[in-house]
Amino acid sequence: MRVHQWLKNMLLFLPLILAASFSQETLINTFLGFTAFSLLASSFYIFNDLMDIENDRNHSSKKNRPLASGNFSITNSIILSSVCLFFAVLIAMQLSSNFQSILAIYAIVTFTYSKFLKKIPVVDIITLACLYLVRIIGGASISNVEISNWLITFSVFFFLFLATVKRWIEVEKSSCLLIFSRGYVKEDISFLRNLSYFCGLISVLIICLYIDSQQAALIYSNSKILWFIPLVFLYWIVETLFLATRKEVDDDPVVYALKSKTSYFCLISLTIIFFLAL
């Protein structure tokens, strides 16, 4: 079920946090949305492992997954995936129709990605970035917060950075010249590396442009302190790229972030800066 990946669904809380809207009803509904997204994601993670079972058995680290290693049966996997999907739908029915539509879009895109899109170079990483963005839009639909163009633009580049780093590491660690399940070849490593540098640094630039905008001055009473935010992001991004070059980052940047002390330091720093700015 990859419960550690549920961390991605915390993005549903981002619009609520940025809008400083912490009513009890909004918090409860966002938590329900988080649970629905997490269960739906787990359902598709299992489905994806079923689709990728043969490729995973030939992968250096994925061969240890429950399905690929044979520690969990295909029948039980199908049952577990169905149960997660059922409860995700059940919880979503308690929320707004807009959120239900967004969850449905997420499910369709995820299914299409698992079945077809992940095999198409470039399209796969753009799809992964969009799936991150859908979570933010889902959170905004629950808390009735309007998402700014600044947040959307930053999210696209930052999540494209994460998706590209993920694929870069996967291709680099692969022992095959052609990664059949992804459509990449070893020669693509340079392209993926350069794209990750570009997207990571552009996302920092977008933060700087936002802080210097009139919109930030209207929202934050002490907007000058926000200039520490791009510094924090820059440090985390550059360190991630540095360690990825040294092959010290896990196959999945989310796993790396959970293990990295730097990530927790940056998160605490960003939280403090945000509340001081308010």
Mean pLDDT of 154-158: 95
**Helix-then-strand count for the chain, H and E:** 13, 2
Using CA atoms, how far apart are residues 167 and 241, in angstroms rounded to an integer?
13
Report yes or no on whether pTM surpasses 0.75.
yes
What pLDDT, in 10s, does the model give residues 11-59? 999 988 887 777 888 899 999 999 999 999 999 888 888 877 766 666 6
Residue 108, burial from CB neighbour count under 10 angstroms (0-12, 13-18, 19+): exposed
What pLDDT, in 10s, does the model give residues 177-208? 556 566 788 888 999 999 999 999 999 999 99
Q: What is the pLDDT of residue 176?
A: 66
Q: What is the pLDDT of residue 75?
A: 84
Domain extent listing, the chain: 1-146, 148-278
What pLDDT, in 10s, does the model give residues 159-177? 999 999 999 988 888 766 5
Residues sharing a CB contact under 8 Å with residue 242, sequence separation 6 or more, in sequence order:
none
Of residues 218 and 36, which shows the higher confidence score? 36
The CATH H-level (homologous superfamily) assignment of domain 1-146 is UbiA prenyltransferase (1.10.357.140)
Residue 189, burial from CB neighbour count under 10 angstroms (0-12, 13-18, 19+): middle
Residue 7 has pLDDT above 90, yes or no: no
Q: What is the pLDDT of residue 156?
A: 94
Contact 37, 12 (CB under 8 A): yes
Which of the given ranges, 48-52, 59-63, 117-121, has the highest pLDDT on average? 117-121
